[in-house]
Amino acid sequence: MIHTIKTLFTAAALTMSGLAVATETISIAWGFNIASNQATTLRLIADDANKTQSKYNFIIEAKPGAGGSIAANHILRNPNTTLVGMSSSFFIRPSIETVGVHDLDKFKPILVQGTGAPLFVVSKKYKNINDLLKLENPNVGISGVGSISDMVANTLKEKNPNLNIVNFKGMIDAAVSAAGGHVDAAITIVDDAKPMIDAKELNVIGYTGTIDLKEYPGLQLTKFGIQGSDKLVANYAIFASNDMPNEKYIEIHNILTKSSKSEVVLASYKKDLIIPSNIILEKSIDWYTSERQYWKNTTSRLIKR
């Protein structure tokens, strides 16, 4: 009897040991403010994925700097165990810089999360985009050179060439500075500035895209003659290295796809006004190619460096 108990205990221990060995950690790098709702969405995806399977343990890893390129290049050094989550900024900085940026040829999307999130222009002092652009030298805060907020600010600069673009570590920092009156306006994703908007510390004075938002009616930048602002919306995806084995790539895609459709994740997308994506893996490469071309064309028009 004692021998049988020992045998069973040993077998159980070996089984547990085997499970521990089988669980592989997959980190999803995030290159911007880790307190943002976009980072929170990635955490929710990881948490759900960890509940629904035991082969992989997904974690979120903060790798800020260089407009997301530090996070992107990090996964090239760890192609089997690391992914990177990012907005359209993933495509922008490599289109305007040549040093210290990531090479878009070395990546593939593993999950297109969602599309169409508008960028907001917020200000403490002004209530209309035209009031801002009438200033002699308006100062507008962005989340860094090569970010999508940089593109929006440069679109505004086409209307007022004297507009000064001020770099911050992230959209939250830029919005806080605008709320304090240190810059005339900031470009942000709405949820990053929502507490300040609700507290009447910031006014929404315009937003990109074409959808007329009920909470902020009639403020589309296109209605104020800001050309090109209709397509300057943020799309979100998680990317893998081309060197990730295909079988593993497909397996992880299936896990993340299921988790990205969970109730809590969909609610988090809604906060940023993101339209959840239904792009299948086979079509995601077409999406990737299209995004690369769009941002290459857009940056060549807007950025003169």
Domains of the chain, CATH where assigned: 2-116+235-302 (3.40.190.150), 119-224 (3.40.190.10)
Res 304: pLDDT: 62
Q: What is the end-to-end Cα distance of the chain in Å, rounded? A: 80
In this structure, what token pair is assigned to residue 284? 């995601």
185 phi and psi angles, rounded to 5 deg = -160, 170
Q: Comparing C-alpha atoms, which of 73, 147, 87 is closest to residue 291?
A: 87
- The C-alpha angle with vertex 196 and arms to 190 and 201, in degrees rounded to 5, equals 125
Q: Which residues contact 205 (CB under 8 A, 6 or more apart)?
A: 121, 122, 123, 126, 127, 128, 129, 131, 132, 185, 219
Residue with tokens 């929404």: 204
CB 197 within 8 A of CB 120: no
Distance CA 259, CA 58 (A): 12
Res 86: pLDDT: 93
144: left (phi over 0), alpha (psi -120 to 50) or beta: left
Distance CA 142, CA 146 (A): 10
In this structure, what token pair is assigned to residue 237? 């995806």
Res 303: pLDDT: 77
Res 18: pLDDT: 47
- Tens-digit pLDDT string for the chain (305 aa): 444 444 445 545 544 544 444 689 999 999 888 888 899 999 999 999 999 999 999 999 999 888 888 999 999 999 999 999 999 989 998 988 888 899 999 999 999 999 999 999 999 999 989 999 999 999 999 987 888 999 999 999 999 999 999 999 888 999 999 999 999 999 999 988 999 999 999 999 999 999 999 999 999 999 999 999 999 999 999 999 999 999 999 999 999 999 999 999 999 999 999 999 999 999 999 999 999 999 999 998 887 64
In this structure, what token pair is assigned to residue 211? 């959808």
Distance CA 139, CA 154 (A): 12
pTM of the model: 0.86
Element (H, E) at 204: strand 203-207
Res 275: pLDDT: 94
Res 146: pLDDT: 80
Res 175: pLDDT: 96
Res 106: pLDDT: 97
Res 252: pLDDT: 97
